């Protein structure tokens, strides 16, 4: 198998890699929709779709598929529905916009490794092990703005336009914080290549515990970055609590109000595929990608006590790597659904102030701390580096707070008691009882 793959023309190998990524992604989207509907139902004390796909055999025996075919049935139905198009649209852009919205969801995963970088997985994943992995991902994810804003503009509907504008402002605001939060990780691992970021995570935990892996989520700066990236990730995919571009009770359905049949479904698919790939990137960058547990089995293989077990686990982990990765993506999706079931939608001013006044300064603070930590570690020692990092967190926190806090209370916003509001008159007698 491996020799055969190595002998192929690079373009054909590339096509195989791409199909191995795109086809499962296309097939997983209905599964995701099913999972969202079921899980949301359980969280809201309902049952959800559980009938579609029940096969009754001649003997009267029933084979149940838990409603797994529901989204597929919905998809086929949508294909054959009338494509209702208003007459005053911008025709070309109206047709292109859903495709532009779906495109980044598929192209996003181009640099994500789904398995170890040696053996057969090394040949098949990532699709392209380019040295600008993180940059490629950021570039493609910003293309998502176009689908939203063009769809909103082309529909010639005021609500669509509002949704498109909101969407574009939201996506670009959160993109900033996302980029800076990834910058910390790139600086700590010294490479933009996602496979190198993974290799950094497979080193000894905090440089001290060699049998554990140093996933970035276990380090203080990595945890902060992960929180910022996680919030931005939800905002980038227009999901609750950041689904203002499609807020039903304000602007009908936002930028896809005028879209029907499969074009609407394409927007929908784009959202779900993007959720999946974003979860995969979160898993790769912060929680060790295809590694199931943060344990260095290779280090333990030489041990007298657990050597054999470690060898077994090492081999198991090698062969199950894509499944483990899939599992981590599924956990990410489950969190998305959990957010949807738990959190109410933000107000627009809250959304913008969260992005610009909280997440972005926090990400920049984190970035500066990582730079100080790396520098002091190199000049002095590991201990001094940690102390300097902690001190820098405290100092910079107060510095930023006072600096940015100066923007909060402008003279025009001084509070004054509302002395002009009239007191409501007190009733002399109760009009109902007459007492």
Partner 1 sequence: MNSDFTPILVLVGVAATVCAAMVTLSWVLGPKKVTPYKQAPYECGVAPLGDARERFPIKFYLVAMLFILFDIEVVFLWSWLTVFKNAPVDYQVFSFWAVMIYMVLWVIGDAYVLRVNAIDWDEATSLAPEKLVDSPAISLTQAPRDAQKLASESNS
Minimum CB–partner distance for residue 199 and partner 1 (Å): 13
Q: Is 148 in the site for partner 1 (CB under 8 A)?
A: no
Minimum CB–partner distance for residue 78 and partner 1 (Å): 7
Residue with tokens 């950041």: 242
CB-nearer residue toward partner 1: 60 or 422: 422
Residues 6+ apart with CB under 8 A from 432: none
Per-residue binder mask for partner 1 (CB under 8 A), 406-435, x = binder:
xx--xxxxxxx-xxxxx-------------
> 213 has which bridge partners?
204
Q: Where are the alpha helices (DSSP H) in 261-306?
A: 261-286, 297-300
Contacts from 206-210 at CB under 8 Å and sequence distance 24+? 207/382, 210/296, 210/299
| Region binding partner 1 by CB under 8 A among candidate stretches 33-41, 56-64, 337-345, 365-373 | 365-373
Question: From the centroid of its chain, how far is CA 302?
Answer: 38
Q: Is 252 in the site for partner 1 (CB under 8 A)?
A: yes
Minimum CB–partner distance for residue 355 and partner 1 (Å): 8
Which parts of 80-119 interact with partner 1 (CB under 8 A)?
Answer: 80-88, 95-96, 98-100, 102-103, 106-107, 110
Minimum CB–partner distance for residue 222 and partner 1 (Å): 14
Please pick, from the candidates 41, 191, 203, 358, the single residue that binds partner 1 as defined by CB under 8 A. Answer: 191
Per-residue binder mask for partner 1 (CB under 8 A), 21-60, x = binder:
xx---x----------------------------------
Q: Is 73 in the site for partner 1 (CB under 8 A)?
A: no
Which parts of 285-344 interact with partner 1 (CB under 8 A)?
Answer: none
Q: Is 7 in the site for partner 1 (CB under 8 A)?
A: no
Minimum CB–partner distance for residue 242 and partner 1 (Å): 14
204-205/62-63 β-pairing: unpaired
Among 342, 298, 147, 137, residue whose Cα is nearest residue 229? 137
CB-nearer residue toward partner 1: 414 or 430: 414
Distance between CA atoms of residues 29 and 85, nearest Å: 26
Largest pairwise CA distance in the chain: 98
Q: How many helices (H) and strands (E) does the chain have?
A: 16, 4
Distance between CA atoms of residues 294 and 44, nearest Å: 34
Q: Is 156 in the site for partner 1 (CB under 8 A)?
A: yes
Please pick, from the candidates 141, 257, 291, 366, the single residue that binds partner 1 as defined by CB under 8 A. Answer: 257
Residues 6+ apart with CB under 8 A from 214: 200, 201, 202, 203, 204, 205, 206, 207
Q: Is 183 in the site for partner 1 (CB under 8 A)?
A: yes
Minimum CB–partner distance for residue 296 and partner 1 (Å): 21
Q: Count interface residues toward partner 1 (CB under 8 A).
A: 110
Which DSSP letter does residue 355 get? Answer: I
């Amino acid at each position: 198998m491996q020799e055969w793959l190595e002998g192929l023309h690079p373009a054909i190998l590339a096509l195989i890699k791409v199909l191995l990524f795109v086809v499962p992604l296309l097939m997983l989207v209905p599964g995701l929709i099913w999972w969202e509907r079921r899980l949301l139902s359980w969280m809201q004390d309902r049952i959800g779709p559980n009938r579609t796909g029940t096969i009754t055999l001649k003997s009267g025996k029933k084979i149940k598929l838990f409603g797994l075919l529901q989204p597929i049935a919905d998809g086929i139905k949508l294909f054959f529905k009338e494509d209702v198009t208003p007459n005053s649209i911008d025709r070309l852009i109206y047709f292109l916009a859903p495709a532009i919205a779906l495109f980044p969801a598929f192209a996003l995963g181009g640099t994500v490794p789904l398995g170890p970088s040696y053996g057969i997985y090394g040949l098949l994943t990532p699709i392209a092990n380019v040295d600008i992995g993180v940059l490629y991902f950021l570039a493609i994810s910003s293309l998502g703005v176009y689908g939203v804003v063009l769809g909103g503009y082309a529909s010639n509907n005021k609500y669509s336009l509002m949704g498109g504008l909101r969407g574009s402002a939201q996506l670009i605001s959160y993109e900033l914080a996302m980029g800076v939060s990834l910058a910390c990780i790139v600086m700590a691992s010294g490479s933009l290549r996602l496979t190198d970021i993974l290799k950094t995570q497979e080193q000894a935990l905090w440089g001290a515990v060699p049998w554990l892996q140093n996933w970035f989520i276990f380090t203080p700066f990595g945890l902060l970055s992960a929180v910022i990236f996680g919030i931005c990730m939800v905002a980038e995919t227009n999901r609750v609590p950041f689904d203002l571009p499609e807020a039903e009770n304000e602007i009908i359905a936002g930028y896809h109000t005028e879209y029907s049949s499969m074009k609407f479904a394409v927007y929908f698919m784009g959202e779900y595929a993007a959720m999946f790939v974003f979860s995969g990137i979160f898993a790769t960058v912060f929680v060790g990608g295809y590694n199931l547990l943060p344990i260095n089995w290779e280090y333990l293989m030489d041990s007298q006590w657990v050597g054999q077990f470690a060898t077994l686990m090492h081999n198991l982990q090698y062969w199950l790597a894509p499944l483990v990765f899939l599992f981590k993506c599924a956990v990410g999706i489950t969190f998305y659904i959990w957010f949807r079931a738990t959190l109410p939608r933000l107000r627009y001013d809250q959304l913008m102030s969260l992005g610009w006044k909280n997440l972005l300064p926090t990400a920049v603070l984190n970035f500066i701390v990582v730079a100080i930590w790396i520098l002091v570690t190199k000049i002095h020692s590991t201990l001094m580096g940690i102390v300097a990092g902690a001190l820098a967190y405290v100092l910079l926190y107060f510095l930023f707070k006072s600096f940015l806090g100066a923007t909060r209370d402008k003279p025009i916003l001084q509070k004054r008691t509302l002395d002009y509001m009239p007191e409501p008159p007190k009733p002399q007698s109760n009009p109902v009882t007459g007492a």
